[in-house]
A and B are shown apart, each in its own frame.
Chain A
């Protein structure tokens, strides 16, 4: 009770500035980046995600130059081959190369994840910002809408949507985002409500700035840290959701490979070849773990308050 306030009294702003001995100008972003860079494990996890993303983007190149197979090429002569030199991670029941399918599957899994995060963030931020900034009935209407969206059982919505639309990466992302934006909107609204109270918002209004300027130039940069944290923690979560949907047959349909639907197939052949389950499972596990570690690192770096 006593401790923190006393330290605050001591924590004098850099008064040394007049003497010219001050440290170089550092923006919040620079400082956060420095903190993130200092976190080795977090950076390693982030690099792994980037690596996976690069592989996904260059999937055609990889299947041409590295594995020499196409993801949907069936070769009934080479079914259930164990990992080896010909097929680095073996083949499935139709003789398709597992590594090639994992690489192409990464396009779906990661693509859907990033797309979903982008969509829920942009919709959620807009809604949350407008609701929080204008308040009053605008806030009431938008937040009731968010309540409604968050009250619909997600799995029911997924089933319904996958019947109505043929799921591809884009529609799947849209479906998951249609639920995900609600919590982002709530998060952003909460931040906006607290930032809005600060005098610099009033100060900016007092010089005649328009609402749009206030939202884009002042509110957005101040809620950005929570958005970045939400985004980096969201990726792993969405990879899991997407894999689950694929596994249930509600997501990406075979023969297009995805990490989730590879597992669906593999369950029938679990005892013939455990590798068919192990490799996609392991890939999902590693990717989600890396995203979570990276997300936590980002949170610690950008929002030191939350650090436990």
Chain B
């Protein structure tokens, strides 16, 4: 069954097309209140996002907590049902595919989670955790299954003997490797990395980043790399999308985004990130934002960022700025962009 499903998927799609194509995606969560739990409003977690992920690239998705980046990632692989809009995978609209077909799609996409403690079932052995995708999709049995589990452990840099251990016996970095092995077990094309290193110790983060980079070139993977740490995202990504309150504010290749941010939010985000070099850090000009992020339940009219934006004018409240091109592959949604 998976064979035919994959064949069916790849009809008319070529490698040069975007692997994932998201258009006008909206994910709203109802807010219930009172004794009868009536819906009193919606959290506009993702509110009209257009985004392409090219095959083989790493697209970084940055934003502060509550900006909707994790929700977007989960909706792309249909772990969350979108409220509106479409998600295309290899040219096929997967927004409304049936359950059986969705299962076949699950072989193409995997996810790595932030918290290496919560994302592994404490009652399963490492072997069972990694073996589960193999069982679910009937990829291997018996000896072959065991060999595959051992191979996956080797691939992520762990001793194959650990297959019969339990997650609690491992450190955060090792658990994250186990989580990565599980994601690789289905041999996916796309992996959503949801803050995969932010829970790890500083000295371990680089190990995991390098592992992810090696695996990408080895298995021709495409990453959607979600994180709040722009320096990590810039390191690992080809392109970076900046999200704020459910919308993409700016998208550009990493170097360009850093050198010449166009959106004031990107500018302030960049200047807020400390650089581990006192010579630079003490001389940096800072653009410190005032106030807090507005509520996603009732986002501001017009531009979402205008309530904190130093450049905001009247017009920003009246109309939502569209994502406009600023040169090659560089887009920003701002009426009064930075130079």
Which A residues have a C-beta under 8 Å from some C-beta of B? 12-15, 17, 22, 25-28, 198-200, 202-210, 213, 217-218, 221-222
Contact = CB atoms under 8 A, between A and B. Distances in A.
Contacts of A202: 74, 79, 111, 113, 119
Interface of B: 74, 77, 79, 102-107, 109-111, 113-115, 118-125, 132-133, 136-137, 162, 164-166, 168-172, 174-175, 179, 182, 185-186
Given A203-B182, A208-B133, A218-B124, 9 more contacts: A199-B115, A202-B119, A203-B120, A207-B185, A208-B137, A208-B186, A209-B132, A218-B121, A218-B123
6 contacts: A13-B169, A22-B169, A202-B113, A208-B103, A222-B122, A222-B123
Nearest to A12: B171
Nearest to A18: B159
B168 to A, nearest CB: 7
A22, A209, A222 — most chain B CB neighbours (10 Å): A209
Contact of B77 (A206, A210, A221, A222): A206
Contacts of A203: 111, 113, 119-120, 179, 182
A124 to B, nearest CB: 21
A12 B204 CA distance: 14
B186 A17 contact: no
10 smallest CB-CB distances across A and B, nearest first, come from A208-B106, A199-B119, A207-B133, A221-B123, A208-B103, A199-B118, A198-B118, A206-B111, A199-B113, A200-B121
A110 B162 CA distance: 44
Given A28-B122, A218-B121, A222-B121, A205 B186 contact: no
A209 B129 CA distance: 12
A209 B79 contact: no
A199 B114 CA distance: 9
A198 B120 CA distance: 9
Contacts of B119: 198-200, 202-203
Contact of B110 (A198, A199, A206): A206
A202 B185 CA distance: 16
Contacts of B175: 13
Contacts of B170: 13-14, 17
A138 B185 CA distance: 34
A299 to B, nearest CB: 18
Contacts of A28: 122-123, 166
B110 A25 contact: no
Contact of A25 (B103, B106, B136, B166): B166
A31 B77 CA distance: 37
B145 to A, nearest CB: 15
A207 B182 contact: yes
Given A13-B170, A199-B113, A203-B179, A25 B164 contact: yes
B166 A26 contact: yes
A208 B102 contact: yes
B118 to A, nearest CB: 4
A222 B109 CA distance: 27
Given A25-B164, A206-B77, A15 B118 contact: no
B118, B123, B165, B172 — most chain A CB neighbours (10 Å): B123
Nearest to B175: A13
A213 B123 CA distance: 14
Contacts of B103: 208, 210
B52 to A, nearest CB: 22
B106 A206 contact: yes
Nearest to B80: A202
A13 B186 CA distance: 28
Given A25-B164, A206-B106, A207-B110, A17 B122 contact: no
Contacts of A198: 118-119
Contact of B79 (A12, A25, A205): A205
A25 B121 contact: no
Contacts of A221: 121, 123-124
Nearest to B119: A199
B106 A207 contact: yes
B192 to A, nearest CB: 8
A208 B79 CA distance: 10
A102 B50 CA distance: 76
Nearest to A220: B123
A227 B186 CA distance: 34
A29 to B, nearest CB: 8
B71 to A, nearest CB: 12
A228 B123 CA distance: 15
Nearest to A197: B118
A207 B115 contact: no
A27 B166 contact: yes
Contacts of B132: 204, 207, 209, 217
Contacts of A15: 171
Contacts of B109: 206
A205 B109 CA distance: 12
A255 to B, nearest CB: 49
B171 A13 contact: yes
A221 B123 CA distance: 7
A13 B125 CA distance: 16
Nearest to A206: B111
A217 B77 CA distance: 23
Contact of A13 (B162, B172, B179): B172
